[in-house]
């Protein structure tokens, strides 16, 4: 089971054309435009079943500016999935039909170990290795917060463990950057307790960890990409710990469920509990807290939001996000459902439809 987190977890697509698209679907300027993260207007988020034919057919055949995908090849038994081919096909479709090269990001959990990944040992559990500190605080099965300052964990994420690492695999596959989940490990109670015993400052250690990811991906790897991008999901309060360093390391921030969440449907797209629940009903004051954090980030970097909102049951929450809430705050929205295993077909704002399939 994949997950992304709010408190529940722990939260990118333009029509950026040089010219305008004519009736033939082509632009009036044939130059291929590489989408810049500051110019993304429409994005999509899919981290389950990415290796299926269904999802291939959904993803390839859309014209978002940015895609966030599960890389698949770090899962046990799926090491040979051709994720590089999927990334190439997404980009080729957009180049051939819209004269743009979209950004494609890999979803990576940097603050929790997951027992379905290639590195997980049969005898692993809390305290073995020492850096696995607890079970997920929101009961996500198979997820374990880690002491991310330990070299073994950093090898898994960055430098190499048993012949591979998260970052190396996504560089080889041609991803443009990393979309980091569980940055909020720095504020997790069990992680803090371990840090106190190790005499570690969790915020400083998180900044150091992300700096190592950025340096390795841009300079040190044999597959280094000097333009590799870093997007942090959730943990907007980390910015307050050191604004200058945060802004130097992050290229964007993404938040889940600023206004709308789900308290079910984590593995089942049709489940009505997977969307259209006010986040403040689940976590009182959450919306106001996050918006207060984001005030100081606005204008410094793009702010993406994944809202679990749909136009269903007489509630037009998706359109409210697209046409009102996101635009009022300058956020770049994507409305979907908690399972994140399909591309959402909820209505988009007037004049935009990303689906060509």
Q: How many CB atoms lie within 10 A of CB 52?
A: 11
Do residues 260 and 278 make contact, with C-beta atoms less than 8 angstroms apart?
yes
Parent domain of 120: 33-255+282-303
Tell me what the mean pLDDT of segment 250-259 comes to.
98
pLDDT of residue 229 exceeding 60, the answer is yes
Amino acid 1: pLDDT: 47
Measuring CA to CA, how many Å separate 39 from each of 104, 224, 321?
Answer: 14, 24, 19
The helices-and-strands tally (H runs, E runs) of the chain is: 12, 16
Which residues lie across from 240 on neighbouring strands? none
Token output for 136: 């997920």
pTM for the full model?
Answer: 0.91
Amino acid 30: pLDDT: 76
pLDDT of residue 325 exceeding 70, the answer is yes
Q: Residue 120 falls within a domain, yes or no?
A: yes
Tell me what the mean pLDDT of segment 67-93 comes to.
97
Nearest CA among 154, 155, 131, 157 for reference residue 144: 131
Q: Residue 315 falls within a domain, yes or no?
A: no
Amino acid 3: pLDDT: 52
Percent of the chain with pLDDT over 90: 86
Residue 301 binned pLDDT confidence (cut-offs 50, 70, 90): very high
Tell me what the mean pLDDT of segment 78-89 comes to.
98
pLDDT of residue 231 exceeding 70, the answer is yes
**Using the 8-state DSSP alphabet, how is residue 36 labeled?**
P
Q: Residue 19 falls within a domain, yes or no?
A: no
Amino acid 323: pLDDT: 94
Q: What is the pLDDT of residues 107-128, one digit of tens each?
A: 999 999 999 999 999 999 999 9
What's the total number of domains in the chain?
A: 1
Q: Residue 4 falls within a domain, yes or no?
A: no
Q: Residue 203 falls within a domain, yes or no?
A: yes
How would you classify residue 111: left for phi > 0, otherwise alpha for psi between -120 and 50, otherwise beta?
alpha
Residues sharing a CB contact under 8 Å with residue 131, sequence separation 6 or more, in sequence order: 146, 147, 148, 150, 152, 153, 194
Longest distance between any two alpha carbons in the chain, whole Å: 65
Amino acid 348: pLDDT: 86
How would you classify residue 234: left for phi > 0, otherwise alpha for psi between -120 and 50, otherwise beta?
left
Q: How far apart (Å, rounded) are the C-alpha atoms in residues 279 and 260?
A: 5
Q: Residue 6 falls within a domain, yes or no?
A: no
More confident residue, 190 or 348: 190
Q: Is the dihedral of CA 275, 6, 116, 72 positive or negative?
A: positive
pLDDT, the chain, mean: 92
pLDDT of residue 195 exceeding 60, the answer is yes
Angle in degrees, CA 336, 270, 115, rounded to 5: 75
Q: How far apart (Å, rounded) are the C-alpha atoms in residues 115 and 1?
A: 10
Q: Residue 146 falls within a domain, yes or no?
A: yes
Q: Residue 114 falls within a domain, yes or no?
A: yes
- According to DSSP H, which parts of the chain are helical? 53-59, 83-98, 151-154, 166-173, 189-198, 202-215, 238-241, 243-249, 279-282, 286-295, 317-320, 326-329
Amino acid 357: pLDDT: 55
Q: What is the pLDDT of residues 7-52, one digit of tens each?
A: 434 433 333 333 334 333 444 457 999 999 999 999 999 999 999 9
CATH code assigned at 193: 3.20.20.70
* Residue 229 DSSP SS3: strand
Nearest CA among 163, 240, 176, 251 for reference residue 210: 251
Q: Which DSSP string corresponds to 241-295?
A: H-HHHHHHH-SEEEEE-SSEE-SS-SS-TT-GGGS-EEHHHHSTTHHHHHHHHHH
- Packing angle between helix 166-173 and helix 83-98, nearest 10 degrees? 40
């Amino acid at each position: 089971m994949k997950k992304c987190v709010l408190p529940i977890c722990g939260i990118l697509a333009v029509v950026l054309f040089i010219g305008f698209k004519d009736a033939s679907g082509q632009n009036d300027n044939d130059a291929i435009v590489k989408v810049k993260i500051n110019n993304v207007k429409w994005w999509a988020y899919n981290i389950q079943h990415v290796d299926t034919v269904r999802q291939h057919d959904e993803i390839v055949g859309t014209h978002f500016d940015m895609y966030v995908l599960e890389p698949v090849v770090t899962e046990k038994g799926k090491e040979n999935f051709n994720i590089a081919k999927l990334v190439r096909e997404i980009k080729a479709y957009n180049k051939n039909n819209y004269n743009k090269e979209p950004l494609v990001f890999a979803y990576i959990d940097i603050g929790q170990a997951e027992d379905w990944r290639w590195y997980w040992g049969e005898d692993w559990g809390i305290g073995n290795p020492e850096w696995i500190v607890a079970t997920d605080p929101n009961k996500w099965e198979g997820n374990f917060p880690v002491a991310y300052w330990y070299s073994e964990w950093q090898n898994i994420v960055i430098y190499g463990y048993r012949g591979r690492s998260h970052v190396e695999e996504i560089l080889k596959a041609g991803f443009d950057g990393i979309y980091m989940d569980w940055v909020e490990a720095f504020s997790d109670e069990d992680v803090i307790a371990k840090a106190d015993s190790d005499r570690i400052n969790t915020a400083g250690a998180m900044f150091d960890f992300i700096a190592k990811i950025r340096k390795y991906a841009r300079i040190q790897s044999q597959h280094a990409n000097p333009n590799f991008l870093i997007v942090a999901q959730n943990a907007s309060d980390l910015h307050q710990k050191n604004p200058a360093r945060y802004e130097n390391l992050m290229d964007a921030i993404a938040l889940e469920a600023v206004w709308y969440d789900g308290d079910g449907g984590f593995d089942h797209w049709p489940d009505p509990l997977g969307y259209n629940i006010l986040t403040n009903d689940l976590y009182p004051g959450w919306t106001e807290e996050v918006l207060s954090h984001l005030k100081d980030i606005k204008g410094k970097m793009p702010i993406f939001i994944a809202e679990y909102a749909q136009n269903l049951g007489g509630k037009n929450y998706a359109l409210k996000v697209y046409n009102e809430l996101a635009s009022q705050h300058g956020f770049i929205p994507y409305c979907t459902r908690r399972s994140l295993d399909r591309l959402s077909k909820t209505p988009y704002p007037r004049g935009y439809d990303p689906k060509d399939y």
